[in-house]
Amino acid sequence: MKWPAIAVSCAVAAGSVIGVTLSHGAPATAVVTPTTATSPIYGVSLPDGYRQWQLVGVAQETGALDELRAVVGNAAALLAYRSAALPFPDGTVLVKLAWEREQSAEFAPAFVPGKPTTVQVMVKDSKRYAATGGWGFGRFVDGKSADEAQHRTCFACHNTNVRDHDFVFTRYAR
Amino acid sequence: MKWPAIAVSCAVAAGSVIGVTLSHGAPATAVVTPTTATSPIYGVSLPDGYRQWQLVGVAQETGALDELRAVVGNAAALLAYRSAALPFPDGTVLVKLAWEREQSAEFAPAFVPGKPTTVQVMVKDSKRYAATGGWGFGRFVDGKSADEAQHRTCFACHNTNVRDHDFVFTRYAR
């Protein structure tokens, strides 16, 4: 016999309710909170092992978001940053981790990462993403992609503000 | 003949004025802005290649310092953080990079790293640094160690505030 073909992503968000009944001979009943592992429009996914990547820079986002952030990059990204060569080569991947900005309980003047909020990805592929400066975008919350409307805003903002830096906000922090 | 024994560190800070006169047979006349490559009290130096290390976490320092910060760690540090094992093993090295907090010229709500301010190092060696919780400290500005008075403050503050976290403020930001 074969099990019914059910793909249950490993990237299920914490807190999702999942009930899967597998019974031989009967269709599987699966109630799964959708986990779209790839972003709409761009088809970008969270890269494996990005938390082990090297640091590009950090940032604070004020206003309603009130976040602390870090951007890490793959080997191609760091090589490009360190040689200050633009545009970034195809294969460059940047990942921005963001957390709620939280006052340190141990040292009042310091603010530290609280709950993770979003993980945002930029992938350089000048052919595939020719219409958006060569970049594909992905925005993830708890490992799950945000919706298409949110992804429509990515390139518009990067194009307006950092077209002259190959559409990338973050600089290398020495 | 032998050259007079003069140790001129390679870690000379940019902008330092250095004049060295070496004359055979006469004492060397050296006017060197002191470049103490290792910290007083602890003898800690800036570890090679730390800018390639993995990210532990980020922070914002408010008040007069007004900085953004990132902490990176060597392999031993990251292994300990990821297994949430305390105390950190001997050989753990943590490096905190700090920059002036600067408003982004391209996106007003964001603040980004400006001029680098200090690089601070913690080295775990439970025997060598038994008197200070097993940690040696180093605080560097432009590659040059801060003075002894500044280094007297390190352990006092870590001991007061984070004794229960093996004297380390920074947590692993997931």
Distance CA B164, CA B154 (A): 16
CB < 8 Å to B142, chain A? none
Residue B5 has pLDDT above 70, yes or no: no
Contact A113 B58 (CB under 8 A): yes
Contact B61 A110 (CB under 8 A): yes
Distance CA B69, CA A36 (A): 33
Contact A106 B162 (CB under 8 A): yes
CA dihedral angle for residue A49, residue A54, residue A60, residue A64, rounded to 10 degrees: -10
Distance CA B145, CA B170 (A): 22
Distance CA B137, CA B155 (A): 8
Is it true that the peptide bond before A87 is cis, omega within 30 degrees of 0? yes
A162 touching B, CB under 8 A? yes
Domain assignment present for A173: no
Q: Are residues A141 and A116 in the same domain?
A: yes
Q: Are residues A103 and A140 in the same domain?
A: yes
Question: In CATH, what number is assigned to the domain containing residue B68?
Answer: 3.50.70.20
Quote the percentage of chain A above a pLDDT of 70. Answer: 80
**A68 and A168 in contact (C-beta within 8 Å)?**
no
**B89 and A40 in contact (C-beta within 8 Å)?**
no
Q: Are residues A63 and A131 in the same domain?
A: yes
The one-letter amino acid at A75: A
DSSP structural state of residue A88: P
Tens of pLDDT, residue by residue over B86-133, are 999 999 999 999 999 999 999 999 999 999 999 999 999 999 999 999
Contact A58 B113 (CB under 8 A): yes
Q: Are residues B91 and B55 in the same domain?
A: yes
Residue A33 has pLDDT above 80, yes or no: no
pLDDT band at A161 (very low <50, low <70, confident <90, very high): very high
Mutate to test the interface with A, among B66, B102, B112, B167 (most CBs of A within 10 A): B112
Q: Are residues A37 and A110 in the same domain?
A: yes
Domain assignment present for B171: no
Tokens 């925005």 belong to: A139
DSSP structural state of residue A126: T
CA dihedral angle for residue B74, residue B76, residue B80, residue B82, rounded to 10 degrees: 60
Q: What is the pLDDT of residue B161?
A: 98
Q: By residue range, what is the domain housing residue B18?
A: 1-30
Domain assignment present for B172: no
The one-letter amino acid at A6: I
DSSP structural state of residue B165: G
Classify A164 as helix, strand or coil: helix
* ipTM of this predicted structure: 0.80
Q: Are residues B66 and B134 in the same domain?
A: yes
Tally of domains within chain B: 2
Residue A25 has pLDDT above 50, yes or no: no
A75 touching B, CB under 8 A? no
Domain assignment present for A170: no
Distance CA A157, CA A168 (A): 10
Contact B70 A107 (CB under 8 A): no
Q: Are residues B103 and B47 in the same domain?
A: yes
Classify A57 as helix, strand or coil: strand
Q: Are residues B25 and B42 in the same domain?
A: no
Chain A residue with minimal CA distance to B169?
A106
Q: Which of A120, A99, A125 is nearest to A169 (CA)?
A: A120
Q: Which residues of A83-107 are buried (b: 16+ CB within 10 A; e: fewer)?
A: eeeebbeeebbbbbbbbebeebeeb
Tokens 């950092």 belong to: A162
Helix spans in A9-147 (H): 75-82
**A145 and A38 in contact (C-beta within 8 Å)?**
yes
Domain assignment present for A132: yes
User: Which tokens is A105 given?
Assistant: 């309980």
Contact B169 A104 (CB under 8 A): yes
CB < 8 Å to B174, chain A? 51, 116
Domain assignment present for B122: yes
Domain assignment present for A152: yes
Q: What is the pLDDT of residue B7?
A: 30
Helices vs strands, H then E, count in chain B: 2, 8
Measured from the Cβ of residue B166, the count of other Cβ atoms closer than 10 Å reads: 17
Q: Is A158 exposed, middle or buried (0-12, 13-18, 19+ CB in 10 A)?
A: buried
Q: Which of A135, A107, A6 is nearest to B96 (CA)?
A: A107
Q: Are residues B114 and B135 in the same domain?
A: yes
Q: Are residues B47 and B17 in the same domain?
A: no
pLDDT band at A114 (very low <50, low <70, confident <90, very high): very high
Q: What's the predicted TM-score (pTM) here?
A: 0.81
Domain assignment present for A171: no
Q: Are residues B19 and B101 in the same domain?
A: no
Q: Are residues B143 and B156 in the same domain?
A: yes
User: Which tokens is B19 given?
Assistant: 């004049």
